[in-house]
Structure 1
């Protein structure tokens, strides 16, 4: 394996100027009449909100400040499997810190982790115990952000899991390690628990991606399972349109979102609002600067099209998170946030995850747990892996 090379993020001034020029030339659509008069998000992203966000992105947002915040953490790139994989490595401040692989999803990035990493690497600074410290390895998923360059191979979940396992085991030399993730990061974490079980101390997820998606598999449901089946039916009908577009015609959509920063923002901000615990006001859960740091990274790297690939791979022949009928037996922890997209009950999750050691129902938070509730998620991760030392 090639030795990792230190990396510092620096976007060229010309690229920032180009972004602002494009934002200044944005053509906005009209707002649909009718229901949109009372609910401007009824048909998708609110036009008035996006106008305000684009104006702030152009004239108020400080990319250099966000860039500097990321660069506080040591970063590296290393060639693995034909790509240059980017990752953060932050050493734990404690005796014998556990190596923890921290994985984002879509439409996320490593910018999700700026608040949670210190809480995991230096818990004593936040009133915790230094014996719970982790050494955190947080890669940009293959094909995402700083782990993307034009023309490189595309990755589904199983390939992502193999890549990050090689990072942890073969490059960094951890014989065993822990993993935590949400969204696709939860899928990759679950795949690690299946395909690389011998390397795993345990896995923790805040999204049950690997369990309970087939309503036909749930016979004679309990009342709690009926509740979940209703949520699943509503989500399938109203919430999965983006998956079908990204999973069937990713190239077509990538033209629009690679060329129009306002279009990119509209596509991503709608998900931040719909999937967070924000009561309809997205900025009450995730700040403008946090959203725009993430969106800007997609813009500057040109990685939005590549980031769609797991959706396409899932529909077109890539191996599933685990084969039908297979299970995951490594120690598993789960934090269920109330505004998560789907919340399967434990009875369904246990059909796949056979060694659930911790199941926590959280009081607040949504799909972007590391962004929305970094303290709550960090507490859960520390509590789960404490028992596995």
Structure 2
């Protein structure tokens, strides 16, 4: 690799596709128990049907072509290979916008969001030049070259990426892990960032809140809204945090299975898409993300970055730039769990949850335009 920015195209070798299909054909299936549902993990009948479609119906080459329709590049930053999409708008008034995906995701999350941002239907709507990097350890920002790729280190890499691209002023947006990265970019490069916009949903807010020291102590169990927030936090600790517990403590151990078994990698991601969404996501888009994890071995390397962040105390500093929050599947608990400045842009949407760029891209694009449009 080199610190120069080099064009990149996805080209998965045919033997890798053949190997995937063979592994899916010869998969060994865990037996279920009578009456078991999602509370015990991904139901076997659901996963068998999805795996068969991945093997015999899903057209990876078509998805590869669709991704390659967007200009892609690679460069080396801080010793790490970084892959990113860079789509420039034809509009002369377009503003640079850096967008970062989360877990378990990839830049494929933005395939239906990019067009509304780059080429909005109305000339009155703000347009953007979109820069969408793959997080270190995800997609083609692999393999990991070193330990220690925390949110803070990633944010500094994104700042360097924007400098290399020649952008002096830009907005930043993210969801899940990407929201943490976006906030840190704004904190470290406040002179260059026009604003930071993040997405969340009630369950994600509750999940994050469980790791914030003292937050639960500030909630009043006799208040109905606080009680619901506490209920969700407790449910996450008891029933929903297993995937993080293993990755935060033993990423290498789970990594063996994720890179050797396409069934495990499929279940690992499909479970979150099922539980963390309330609007339909195209099955091909889901499998595109799963395939990117499989072909690049990102299941293991992404787990290592989660481990690094869990063991890090570097969370950066608050940023003085304007903040925007888009809450999907909104209810009153998010206001209690997400500290927001009184003058922050705050939008609430009834539908959509953890993956709004895939669930309702037009809604997210409109909120990004509303927030960044007046900023300079």
Give your verdict on TM over 0.5.
Answer: yes
- Rounded to whole Å, the distance in 2 between the matches of 1:61 and 1:275 is 23
Q: Distance in 1 between matches of 2:226 and 2:372?
A: 28
| Kept in 2: contact 1:190–1:321 (CA 8 A) | no
**Is 1:193–2:180 an aligned residue pair?**
no
Contact 1:140 1:146 survives alignment (8 Å) = yes
Task: Indicate the residue corresponding to 1:166 in structure 2.
Answer: 160
- Counterpart in 2 of 1:281? none
Q: What's the secondary structure of 1:27's corresponding residue?
A: coil
Q: Deviations over 1:244-272 (max 9, x none)?
A: 10000000000011000011101110011
- 8 Å CA contact 2:149, 2:309 repeated in 1: no
Aligned to 2:33: 32
Mapped partners of 2:362, 2:58: distance in 1: 26
Change over 3 Å in CA distance of 1:294–1:92 after alignment to 2: same
Match of residue 135 from structure 1: 129
The residue that corresponds to 2:368 in the other structure is 381
1:198 partner SS: coil
Provide the secondary structure at the position in 2 that maps to 1:206. Answer: strand
Equivalents in 1 of 2:75, 2:51: separation in Å?
35
Distance in 2 of aligned mates of 1:134 and 1:357: 21
Is residue 369 of structure 1 aligned with residue 356 of structure 2? yes
User: 300, 303, 319: which is aligned to 1:328?
Assistant: 319
Deviations 1:332-381 (A, max 9, x none): 11111117xx985335533xx43653111102101011011111111111
Distance 1:72 1:343, change over 3 A: farther
CA distance in 1, matches of 2:304, 2:342: 30
Q: Secondary structure at the match of 2:137?
A: coil
- 2:15 and 2:116 map into 1 onto residues whose CA distance is 36
1:153-193 Cα deviation digits (max 9, x unpaired): 4511111111111101x211211210111111111111122
Q: Report the Cα distance in structure 2 between the residues aligned to 1:356 and 1:86, rounded to whole angstroms.
A: 35
CA distance in 2, matches of 1:174, 1:141: 20
CA 1:153–1:96: 2 relative to 1, 3 Å: farther
- What does residue range 318-357 of structure 1 map to in structure 2 within 5 Å? 318-322=312-316, 327-338=318-329, 344-350=333-339, 353-354=340-341, 356-357=343-344
Deviations 1:65-121 (A, max 9, x none): 000010110011111111221111111232231110011011100111111000001
CA distance in 2, matches of 1:274, 1:7: 34
SS at 2:218's partner residue? coil
Aligned mates of 1:253, 1:212 — CA distance in 2: 25
User: What secondary structure sits across from 2:86 in the alignment?
Assistant: strand
Matches within 5 A, 1:23-172: 23-33=24-34, 35-36=35-36, 40-124=37-121, 128-129=122-123, 132-149=126-143, 151-168=145-162, 170-172=163-165
Q: How many residues align?
A: 367
Q: Is 1:183 aligned to residue 161 of structure 2?
A: no
Partner of 2:275: 274
Partner SS, residue 363 of structure 2: helix
Give 1:306's match in structure 2, choosing from 293, 298, 301: 301
With the length of structure 1 as denominator, give the TM-score of the two structures: 0.88
CA distance in 1, matches of 2:97, 2:342: 19
- Contact residue 97 and residue 131 of structure 1 kept, 8 A: no
RMSD: 2.2
The residue aligned with 1:202 is: 195
Check whether the contact 1:177–1:200 (CA below 8 A) recurs between aligned residues: yes
Asked if 1:9 corresponds to 2:6, the answer is no
Runs (5+) with no aligned partner, structure 1: 279-284
TM-score (norm: length of structure 2): 0.91
Q: Match of 2:12, SS?
A: coil
Equivalence for 1:235: 236
- The aligned counterpart of 1:292 is 287
- 1:143–1:154: 8 Å Cα contact kept in structure 2? no
Q: 1:308: Cα distance to partner?
A: 1.2
